[in-house]
Amino acid sequence: MGRIPDLVPERLSADGRALYDSIAGGPRAAGPQHFALTNPDGSLRGPFNAMLLAPGLGAALQDLGAAIRYRGTLTDRAREIAILLVAARWDSAFEREAHEAVGRATGLADDELAALRREDVAAFAGVEGAVARATVALLDGDLDDAAWADAEEALGAAGVLELSTLVGYYATLALQLRVFRVGV
């Protein structure tokens, strides 16, 4: 059991319900479902339940997440590689469960998923390798000049902005999942 109750839709404020509806009826809920977004009682799983505590902030967070997932330029595989490296670094069970399922759907093989759990980026080459190396460097705190050059050559400056935003966003979610004791 986490530190806050599961917030069921019928007990939310108007702002909370609007946020709930944007999450439960938005792009995360459309198309193939690789992980359950809601619990049987209708409450949101993962970081989304806590977002309902502060709907204004939660709306901004979920919109940033939707932009990263659905309006970014990284390939689906590259994005999932980065997310899974964040999940590994933060030991975030929910992010790992959810994004390993998404990663499999993007073509990540079991041996690649196992490597990501160990933060072993050697299996990735090209743009995916640059994303993986840059993600680990960002998780360590910065891109030195060599890491910047590698990432910028593969992704362009705008791609590095996107990747650094992704790493920060998923690290924020991992922290919130830890603080609120949200399990799988």
pLDDT, tens only, 53-110: 999 999 999 999 989 988 999 999 999 999 999 999 999 999 999 999 999 999 999 9
Name the residue among 59, 36, 42 with its Cα closest to residue 5: 42
Residues 85 and 66 in one domain: no
> In this structure, what token pair is assigned to residue 111?
């041996």
Residues 65 and 83 in one domain: no
Number of domains in the chain: 2
Domain that holds residue 110: 76-179
Angle, vertex CA 93, rays to CA 92 and CA 97, nearest 5: 120
Residues 63 and 82 in one domain: no
**Of 49, 70, 91, which residue is a domain's last?**
70
Residues 35 and 118 in one domain: no
Label residue 25 by pLDDT band (50, 70, 90).
Answer: confident
Distances (CA, A) of 77 to 84, 122, 165: 10, 15, 17
Let me know if residue 64 belongs to a domain.
Answer: yes
Let me know if residue 49 belongs to a domain.
Answer: yes
CATH number of the domain residue 128 falls in: 1.20.1290.10
**Could you give the CA distance from residue 132 to residue 78 in angstroms, rounded to a whole number?**
8
Spell out the residues 6+ positions from residue 13 whose beta carbon is closer than 8 angstroms to its own.
55
Task: Identify any residues that bridge with 44 across adjacent strands, giving them in sequence order.
Answer: 38
- For residue range 112-147, what is the model confidence (pLDDT) as tens digits? 999 999 999 999 999 999 999 999 999 999 999 999
Residues 162 and 121 in one domain: yes
Let me know if residue 147 belongs to a domain.
Answer: yes
**Of 70, 94, 115, which residue is a domain's last?**
70
Let me know if residue 54 belongs to a domain.
Answer: yes
Label residue 1 by pLDDT band (50, 70, 90).
Answer: low
Residues 160 and 109 in one domain: yes
Task: Identify any residues that bridge with 38 across adjacent strands, giving them in sequence order.
Answer: 44
Q: What single letter denotes the amino acid at residue 145?
A: D
Residues 106 and 132 in one domain: yes
Residues 48 and 95 in one domain: no
Residues 17 and 81 in one domain: no
Q: Taking the CB of residue 13, how many other CB atoms lie within 10 A of it?
A: 10
> In this structure, what token pair is assigned to residue 74?
């990284």
**Could you give the CA distance from residue 71 to residue 138 in angstroms, rounded to a whole number?**
21
Residues 87 and 110 in one domain: yes
pTM: 0.92
**Could you give the CA distance from residue 129 to residue 163 in angstroms, rounded to a whole number?**
13
**Could you give the CA distance from residue 71 to residue 57 in angstroms, rounded to a whole number?**
20
- The pLDDT of residue 37 is 81
Residues 162 and 84 in one domain: yes
